[in-house]
Each structure stands twice: as C-alpha cells, then as structure tokens.
Amino acid sequence: MCNPLLDIQTTVEKSFLDKWGLKENDAILCDDKHNDMFTELTKDFTVEYIPGGAAQNSLRVAQWILNSPNRTVFFGAVGKDQYGELLATKAKEAGVNVQYQINETVKTGTCAALINGTHRNDFRSLCAHLAAANTFTQDHLQKEENQKIIEQAKYFYVTGFFITVCPPAIIQLATHSAEFNKTFTLNLSAPFISQFFFDKLSEIIPLVDVLFGNEDEAAAFANAHGWETTCVKEIALKAAALPKKSTKPRLVVFTQGPEPVVVVEGDKVTEYPVTRLPKEEIVDTNGAGDAFVGGFLSQFIQGKGIEASVACGSYAAQEIIKKHGCTVPSVCKYH
Ligand code: AP5
Ligand code: NA
C-alpha cells in the first residue's frame, strides 16, 4: 500500500533546484508554489513519463523476479484519467494485481524526478504532487473483495510515504498482520517522514516485523529519537530493539548505496557487501532502493533466508540502475 504516482523524469541543472527551493538527493512533497514548476517542466524540458510510486515500483520488480502473475496486490488511490489508466496498464503488464481506489474528481498524482549525472556525487531530487493519492480512505480496505485479499495475504508492505496519507489504514493492516502472526514490513522512505511525521511513525513501529531504509533515512530516524549517533549499524541495532507487539524478533535492513547492506536480526548485525557497478554501466540510481526491496521481498516471501533475500535485492537494484527510472529488462535472468 502506497501512493501510485507517475514520474515525470528529466535532467536539470542545480540552478533549477535553487529556483524551486529543492535540495539535491532529497524527496519532498510539493506545495502550491510548485504548480508552475510542473508546467515549466512539461513545457520547456524533454520529459519521460515513467510509472513510479515507491511500493508500486517494488511490487513490479518483485513480480518480474517471481515470474508468475498476481502474487502481489497493490492498494492506493488514483484519479479517473489517462495517467491513472497508464499506471494500471503498466502495473498489470508487470503482473501486479492493482486494486486502486479511484477518485472521480482529483487528478492522478505525479512525481518530478529531477536528475543530474548518474552516480551518487551528482544529484536526484524528487518532488511528489500526491493529488488523488492523498485522498485514499480506509473504506477501500473495508470493501468485501479487498477484505478477502487482506485475509489471504501473508506479507504486507507499506511505505513510510503513506504515513502522510492514511495512518489508520496502515494501523489496520499492521494490526491484522500481528493478530494472525503474519509479517508486516515498512520502509522509512525519506528523511522527512521521521522529521515531520514521527508521532505517527512511532505508533506503527511496534507492529513492524521488517524495517527497510537507506543511510540518510536511518540518520533522520535516529535524530528524531534523539540517539546521538550516525553509525548505521548502531542505529539498526537500536531500531531492532524498539518495543514490539509480537515476540518475533524485528529485522532491520539498511542499504547504503555501494556500501554494504546492514542487517540486524534481533541483536545480531551482519554486513553484506555490494558488488560495485562500474561507472559506465550506471544510467541512474532512481528507484535503486525500491528495486532492492522488490528483490528482497521476492525471496523473503518464499521463505528463503536473509542472505538470499539480500543477494536478490542487490541484483534487482543493479538491474534498475542500468536503466532509466524503476524499469526492468523484459526477461529476468535471476535464479
Ligand atoms: P527513490 O527514493 O529515488 O527510490 P529509491 O528506490 O529509494 O532510490 P534511491 O536512489 O534513493 O535509493 P536508496 O538510497 O534508497 O538505495 P541505495 O542507494 O542505498 O524514489 C523513487 C520513487 O519514489 C519514484 O518512483 C517516486 O515516484 C517515488 N516517490 C517519491 N515520493 C513519493 C511519495 N511521497 N509517495 C510515494 N512514492 C514516492 O541502494 C540500494 C541498493 O542498490 C544497494 O544496497 C545496492 O545493492 C544497490 N546499489 C546502489 N548503488 C550502487 C552502485 N553504485 N553499485 C552497485 N550497486 C548499487
Ligand atoms: Na530511497
């Protein structure tokens, strides 16, 4: 469950970010002052429209690896328009069973993905205009057909991004998951979630069995807790040890770009090295984290161990880094 967004991707100079008050390597929600930015982007730039939305990206990637349709279902809200139809078509083509809540009056959400260069020293700034995605309501989960889907599901994945939209829906799924001894997984998604939505995030954490994030999100999470450390391993240990409703130990998985993936299971830390991609193979890292989660979950839901799940996460991330946006090659060669 997350925000289904259509990414409007283009290359910009740093001055463009300055003009619109955006930061390098950041992800924010836009406000009214960015309306003209979207107009300028579509008028004066060559843009690519790419299906996006963090969890939807992850599910498309998981389906690509699982190679058997409808193993995953997606909940989120879109408008009744071309962009919404495009998102649904692309997700279905990938094998995701999309169950959108359709808003008749508000437009499908978009996300400006502004890129400069290819690797981490350059930048990539995301500015999401949630629109219809922001209007998701808990009623959608109450529908009979969706109740059935929820009952049949064994794993749940929700992004931190969705905390800005509908926390009661997240609590509903997470509580159901805990009650039936299923697995509830959450992504920290972006530093602003820990900075500005910490109370809501903290209500959900006790129900989280698996927590994903990258190093910046880990640092923002630590800062919000008042933990005086930026050491990713230490933060992961502390996050794993936070109070939890069920007795299952919490798994924390923090990625750090080309640096090792840090995994804490209970009180045990393991680092999994990442094979670095040569610079000439990197097209853009947009969607790397989402792809990692997709690859990880594709194995984890089959009961494969953590090592196999991380290996598949890294494989998926690298395939996405070699292409624009969060898109996968047509055939999956992963075994
Ligand atoms: P974005 O946040 O860019 O996606 P992401 O998948 O998280 O990509 P990042 O580049 O931030 O990756 P990361 O830092 O998380 O992972 P890491 O670098 O550690 O967002 C993309 C999507 O978000 C868009 O489609 C947009 O629609 C959506 N979005 C934005 N706002 C939203 C909102 N409000 N609601 C919903 N959706 C929203 O890398 C992970 C792994 O990749 C590593 O562990 C490694 O295995 C591999 N890797 C990374 N770099 C290298 C390298 N150089 N060589 C080899 N492997 C590498
Ligand atoms: Na990310």
Residue 119 confidence (pLDDT) above 60: no
Say which CATH topology domain 53-106+135-321 has.
UDP-N-acetylmuramoyl-L-alanine:D-glutamate ligase (3.40.1190)
Q: What is the pLDDT of residues 316-326, one digit of tens each?
A: 999 999 987 67
Q: Which ligand is nearest to the CA of 87?
A: 1
And the tokens for 144? 């009979």
The verdict on the CB of residue 310 being under 6 Å from ligand 1 is: no
Q: What is the pLDDT of residues 70-85, one digit of tens each?
A: 999 999 999 999 999 9
Question: Domain boundaries in the chain?
Answer: 53-106+135-321
Backbone angles phi, psi at 86, to 5 degrees: -60, -45
Residue 332 confidence (pLDDT) above 90: no
Nearest Cα to Cα of residue 131 among 193, 191, 97, 83: 83
User: What are the distances in angstroms from CA 229 to CA 250, 251, 253, 255, 258?
Assistant: 20, 20, 17, 17, 21
The verdict on the CB of residue 4 being under 6 Å from ligand 1 is: no
What is the percent of the chain with per-residue pLDDT over 90, rounded to a whole number? 85
Residue 17 confidence (pLDDT) above 70: yes
Q: What is the pLDDT of residues 165-195, one digit of tens each?
A: 999 999 999 999 999 999 999 999 999 999 9
Residue nearest to atom 1 of ligand 1 (CA): 287
Distance 287 CA to ligand 1 centre (A): 4
Residue nearest to atom 55 of ligand 1 (CA): 276
- Looking at ligand 1, which atom is closest to the CA of residue 5? 27
And the tokens for 274? 């990442």
Q: Which band of pLDDT confidence, cut at 50, 70 and 90, is reported for residue 120?
A: low
Q: Which ligand is nearest to the CA of 159?
A: 1
Residue 311 confidence (pLDDT) above 70: yes
The verdict on the CB of residue 223 being under 6 Å from ligand 1 is: no
Residue 5: CB partners within 8 Å, gap ≥ 6? 52, 53, 56, 87, 108, 109, 110, 111, 128, 130, 133
Q: Which residues are catalytic?
A: 290
- Looking at ligand 1, which atom is closest to the CA of residue 164? 34
- Judge whether 196 and 28 are in contact, CB under 8 Å: no
Q: Quick one: pLDDT at residue 121?
A: 54
ipTM of this model? 0.92
Q: Which ligand is nearest to the CA of 257?
A: 1
- Looking at ligand 1, which atom is closest to the CA of residue 213? 15
